Amino acid sequence: MAGDGDANGDGATGGATIYHNPRCSKSRQALELLRENGIEPMIVKYLDAPPTVEELRTLIAEAGLTPRQAVRVKEQEFTDLGLLGVDDDELLAAMVAHPRLIERPFVVTPKGTRLARPTSAVEEIL
C-alpha cells in the first residue's frame, strides 16, 4: 500500500503505521499524538490505496474488533449498498471497494493495533 514514511516499518517510523484520512479530525489527532511521542509513522492514505480484504480482516482482528465494529454505518454508501444484514465477508468486500466505509484511524505499532476512537486508545500501544 502506498504511503509516506518508512515503507519497511522500521527506522524513523519506530515500526508504526497509521491508516490515515487527512480530512478526519480523529485521524489528524492520532497522527499528532504519535509525533508528540517521537514516532514518525508510515502513513497509509487508505482512501487512495485501500487495503486488500485479507489485510483489512487482519487489521480489524488485531485491533480486537469485528468488521461490523469497524464500518462507518452512517456513510451513505452503507445504506445505498444495503449492508445492514450482510455477513462479514460481504462487509469486508464492500469496505475495500468503498474505503470511506472503513472506520478510522487504525494505528499499528510493535505493541499492537488500535482503532484510535477515542484518540487516547493509541496510548495503550506506544
Q: Provide the annotated active-site residues.
A: 24
Quickly list H helices, the chain.
25-36, 53-62, 76-80, 88-97
Residue 71 Cα distances to 4, 38, 39, 113, 123, angstroms: 24, 30, 27, 16, 22
Which grid cell sits at 92?
469486508
